[in-house]
Chain A
Amino acid sequence: ETGVTQTPRHLVMGMTNKKSLKCEQHLGHNAMYWYKQSAKKPLELMFVYNFKEQTENNSVPSRFSPECPNSSHLFLHLHTLQPEDSALYLCASSAQDRRNSGNTIYFGEGSWLTVV
């Protein structure tokens, strides 16, 4: 139990579906992240939110749409994905101030996404 909870843990969706991944952190952190983990690749940072504001979008295709309604919740909305988007999507949080001082991040258990 890391204090970062992701749902669903497993998701299978068709290329025309719309689905969302949810993340909630109970650590009182101010920054939240979405990472993508594919086989044989390093963890890829997708989005960063600091105090609910998006501070980084790492050239992620628009079929991935993040939403951060408050510092404790983060969503990743998925629409018209491709099979190559199948991966483990990890949410993380950290106690990070607006200057992005790089504190240690804590991960959720991940959401396994399969696009068929």
Chain B
Amino acid sequence: TQLLEQSPQFLSIQEGENLTVYCNSSSVFSSLQWYRQEPGEGPVLLVTVVTGGEVKKLKRLTFQFGDARKDSSLHITAAQPGDTGLYLCAGTGYSGAGSYQLTFGKGTKLSVIP
């Protein structure tokens, strides 16, 4: 069974601060996705990373895939209230017999206070 641990579970910060959210596993993933989910809505895909060491930027958000493809981080610069939401990481890993499975972390609930 592949597990993804996200930390921190909850994060409350002031507008303008920087933050980093982590997604860790002992398993190797072929790709990893980050989603943001607002209350009452479905998760919205932010980014997919596939190469070890890959860094992708989306405005103030920077995503990094670990060299060994077992972990990832999301860094937000100068957080805004609009960044508030649940951030989910999901990893695609080989589960044997030619099939893959998608594993979700429990999420990091971010609150940005104006």
A, B bound: yes
Using a CB–CB cutoff of 8 Å, the interface residues on chain A facing chain B are 2, 4, 6, 40-43, 45, 88, 90, 92, 99-110, 112
Contact B41 A102 (CB under 8 A): no
Contact B99 A100 (CB under 8 A): yes
The minimal Cβ–Cβ distance linking B61 to chain A, given in whole angstroms, is 17
B-side contacts of A45, CB under 8 Å:
102
Selected contact of B31 from candidates A104, A107, A109, A110, CB within 8 Å:
A104
Selected contact of B99 from candidates A41, A92, A99, A105, CB within 8 Å:
A99
B-side contacts of A109, CB under 8 Å:
41-42
B interface: dominant SS: strand
Contact A100 B100 (CB under 8 A): yes
Q: Which residue of B lies closest to A99 (CB)?
A: B98
- Render B69-99 as a binary contact track against A, CB cut-off 8 A, 1 for contact: 0000000000000000000101011000011
B-side contacts of A106, CB under 8 Å:
45
- B43 near A: Cβ within 8 Å? yes
Using a CB–CB cutoff of 8 Å, the interface residues on chain B facing chain A are 30-31, 33, 35, 40-45, 48, 88, 90, 92-93, 98-102, 104-107
Contact A90 B101 (CB under 8 A): no
A99 to B99, CA, bound (A): 6
A interface: dominant SS: loop
Contact B100 A110 (CB under 8 A): no
A107 to B88, CA, bound (A): 13
Contact B92 A102 (CB under 8 A): yes
Q: Which residue of A lies closest to B107 (CB)?
A: A42
A74 to B92, CA, bound (A): 23
Contact B100 A101 (CB under 8 A): yes
Q: Which residue of A lies closest to B93 (CB)?
A: A102
Contact B40 A110 (CB under 8 A): yes
The minimal Cβ–Cβ distance linking B108 to chain A, given in whole angstroms, is 12
A108 to B44, CA, bound (A): 9
Contact A42 B42 (CB under 8 A): no
A-side contacts of B41, CB under 8 Å:
109-110
A-side contacts of B43, CB under 8 Å:
43, 90, 107
A-side contacts of B99, CB under 8 Å:
99-100
Contact B42 A110 (CB under 8 A): yes
Selected contact of B101 from candidates A88, A102, A103, A108, CB within 8 Å:
A102
